[in-house]
Amino acid sequence: MFQSFQDTASPEQGPPRLAALRTEMVREGLAGFLIPRADAHQGEYVAPHDERLSWATGFTGSAGFCAALANIAGVFVDGRYRTQVKRQVDLAHFTPVNWPEVQLGDWLNDQLSDGGTVGYDAWLHTPEEIEKLVKTCSANGIRFAAVNNLIDHVWPDQPAPPQGHISPYPTELAGEPHGQKRARLAQGLKKEGHGAAIITLPDSIAWLLNIRGSDIPRNPVPHCFAILRDDGHVALFVDPAKVDDALRAHLGPEVNLRPTQAFLPALHSITGIARLDPKTAPMAVRHALDEANIAFEHGEDPCLIPKATKTRAEISATSEAHLRDGAAMVEFLTWFDVQPPGSLTEIDMAKRLESFRRDTNALLDISFDTIAGTGANGAVMHYRVTETSNSTLEDGQLIVVDSGGQYIDGTTDITRTLPIGQPGDEERRAFTRVLKGMIAISRARFPKGLAGRDLDALARYPLWLAGQDFNHGTGHGVGVYLCVHEGPQRISRVSHVPLKPGMILSNEPGYYREGAFGIRIENLIVVQEAELFDGADDREMYDFLTLTYVPIDRRLILPAMMDAGEIDWLNRYHITCRDKIGPRVSDAARLWLDAATKPL
């Protein structure tokens, strides 16, 4: 099994660890210390070595941070984790804070009315983060100081940094040799007057050089740093233990391999103006440039948009991966439907789903730990089942199954909400509203230049009419055998990035009633140029191509709540599911598929 069900949250360990941290704060003369869930590469998912937030607090979510002061320790979480955090931290010692509604700088101003110095690890925070804090807090006498990481001082059995092997990624799947990518981006640097770009995001480097790594569970990226020069040459800073002759041959003479510890000294030798992304680079890089008097300008990581706009080869490859994964899902749903209520647990569901993906003989990893939450657990948006929390699927409940696979040709992410026995009318009404929002995004047609914020309301409107909503974005970007959460593209009310053809996104509205049930429906979609209509304006229009083909459970749908266009979309979607997936599954699954895709 790729997935473990061990309960890694240790709320009882939080108080003594917090006390040890506060002892270090006193020794360093600090009024506070910041503990982000981050590593030197600012990735969402981190290696065990960098799980400082969960070690210190017990909170295991994939986003959040703690601000530990002398008399209070705030754990900042967004809407996805507000139920989870209350289960995982000792509430007598840690205080959950609703973020981003409450900003860290404002909170520090309230808590440190007499001022003081707050310490932070410069490798774990970006210039944008620190500059915002300084601007917000300086008038109140609060200072911020880069210090050695205090958690590392008090974590006696901290795991070692990862040393995962790095391998070439096939050019035929990437759609472009890394030499062409480097040359193309180098031309962009020249146009901007930049002599080099400092790249610190692992998935950016993996995309740029057509390589994949194994330093992070579920995410095939390598921990490394890179400097791309305006002539297309790259200096790659990586632990030599991760490199073999095959990788050296793949990279060629224009990629200079150097050890990780040479990264900061190499910044001193940059000629021309360096480009630094203030949203993704660690503050330690900014400090090194300042100390060496190297001229730099803030600018976006040059890989972000090219990586997000997939090539035709990438879209073709990931389409095949999604069909393969869809067949595994249909086999799983066929198995699930003959299991009586009360006979399965959440762990049974996660294990069996992974086994069907393994049966493809193509699964390299799961793309994230499977979310299989029944009843009240389904209302925990990023619920991770453990041996402690494992619940039985009881008659009348719903179960949210959010999962995905990592294949050499693509990364998948799909959510289906399933009834256990006979679903209730309230659950069916909420499910149908969520489905209407998901269909609205699927059918969206929009002008060039619009961003995710312009589409987000389409998914929420049916819920808003009932006074309901969900506390997460409608969709995130997805890579191709890279990270399942990929920026900068999103469907979210805070996303300003214009959507472009080739961008892959999730489409996953939901509804969650704490203590009762959860609902989420998710497909992956890709932006494409829309077909021209007779009589349409002379303007460029985009729409979405669906990548995910797995039936949506008809037993949870109230057709009377849907209009004719929505029903037509669903019926056509189900016909396509049958046509694309039917030839790939067993006879039993084909019979199930025929029944599951009957028209409403």
Same domain for 356 and 400?
A: yes
Last residue of a domain, one of 307, 334, 369: 307
Taking residues 381-403, what's their average pLDDT?
95
Q: What's the pLDDT band for 538 if we cut at 50, 70, 90?
A: confident
Q: How many CA atoms lie within 13 A of 108 on its CB side?
A: 29
Would 488 be classed as within a structural domain?
A: yes
pLDDT digits (tens, 9 = 90+) for 141-166: 999 999 999 999 999 999 999 999 99
Residue 42 has pLDDT above 80, yes or no: yes
Do 230 and 346 share a structural domain? no
By the 8 A CB rule, do 365 and 403 touch? no
What is the spatial distance between Cα 214 and Cα 231, in angstroms, rounded to a whole number? 29
Asked if the model's pLDDT at residue 531 lies above 90, the reply is: yes
DSSP string, 26-83: HHHT-SEEEEES--TT--SS--GGG-HHHHHH----SS-EEEEESS-EEEEE-GGGHH
Domain final position from 246, 281, 307: 307
> Confidence class of residue 490 from pLDDT cuts 50, 70 and 90?
very high
Q: For tokens 């790249």, what's the residue?
A: 199
CA–CA separation, 293 and 287 (whole Å): 10
Q: Which of 96, 125, 154 marks a domain boundary?
A: 154
The answer on pLDDT for 215 being more than 90 is yes
Residue 226 has pLDDT above 90, yes or no: yes
Average pLDDT value for residue range 271-294: 96
- Which residues lie below 8 Å from residue 300, measured CB to CB, with a gap of 6+? 277, 279
For residue 1, being part of any structural domain is answered with no
Is there a contact between 59 and 85 (Cβ–Cβ < 8 Å)?
yes
Q: 449 lies in which domain range?
A: 309-596
Please state the rounded mean pLDDT for residues 362-367.
Answer: 98
With a cut of 80, say whether residue 521 has pLDDT above it: yes
363 and 324 in one domain? yes
pLDDT bin (cut points 50, 70, 90) of residue 403 is: very high
> With 80 as the cut, is the pLDDT of residue 7 above it?
no
How many domains are contained in the chain?
3
Give backbone dihedrals phi and psi of 41, rounded to 5 degrees, phi first. -110, 0
Average the pLDDT over 333-358 and give the result: 98
State how far the Cα of 255 lies from the Cα of 438, in Å rounded to an integer.
Answer: 44
Same domain? For 147 and 190 the reply is no
pLDDT at position 283, please?
A: 97
In a domain, 215, yes or no: yes
Categorize the per-residue pLDDT at 12 as very low, low, confident or very high, splitting at 50, 70 and 90. Answer: confident
The per-residue pLDDT of the chain, averaged, comes to 96
pLDDT in tens, 227-237: 999 999 999 99
Residue 187 has pLDDT above 80, yes or no: yes
Residues 466 and 476 in one domain: yes
Q: Is the pLDDT of residue 136 over 80?
A: yes
pLDDT given for residue 52 in this prediction:
96
If asked whether residues 409 and 268 sit together in one domain, one would say no
Residue 449 tokens, joined: 């230049």
| Domain at 21, CATH number | 3.40.350.10
Q: Do 397 and 478 fall within a single domain?
A: yes
Question: What is the predicted pLDDT for the residue at 267?
Answer: 96
Average of pLDDT values for 78-105? 92
**61 pLDDT exceeds 90?**
no
pLDDT category, 6, cuts 50, 70, 90? confident
Please tell me the pTM assigned to this model.
0.95
Burial 322-346 (b: 16+ CB within 10 A, else e): bbbbbbbbbbbbbbbeeeeeeebbb
553: CATH:
3.90.230.10
pLDDT, residue 533, reads 87
Same domain, 270 and 315: no
- At residue 275 the predicted structure's pLDDT band, cuts being 50, 70 and 90, is very high
The C-alpha angle with vertex 351 and arms to 347 and 353, in degrees rounded to 5, equals: 115
Residues 430 and 559 in one domain: yes
Among 4-18, 21-35, 89-103, 574-588, name the one with the lowest average pLDDT: 4-18
The answer as to whether 344 is a domain residue is yes
In a domain, 534, yes or no: yes
Same domain membership, residue 408 and residue 264: no
pLDDT band at 83 (very low <50, low <70, confident <90, very high): confident
Sort strands 365-366 and 405-407 into parallel, antiparallel or unpaired.
antiparallel
Question: Does 467 share its domain with 569?
Answer: yes
For residues 26 and 74, membership in a common domain is answered with: yes
The answer to the question of residue 283 being in a domain is yes
Across residues 458-473, what is the average pLDDT?
97
**162 belongs to a structural domain:** no
Q: Please say if the pLDDT value at position 22 is more than 80.
A: yes
Do residues 226 and 237 touch, judged by C-beta distance below 8 A? yes
Q: Is the pLDDT of residue 8 over 80?
A: no
Of residues 97, 93, 92, 94, the one with CA closest to residue 77: 97
Q: Phi and psi of 460, rounded to 5°?
A: -95, -20
Distance CA(123)–CA(120), nearest Å, equals 9
- The per-residue pLDDT for 534 is 87
Residue 80 lies in a domain: yes
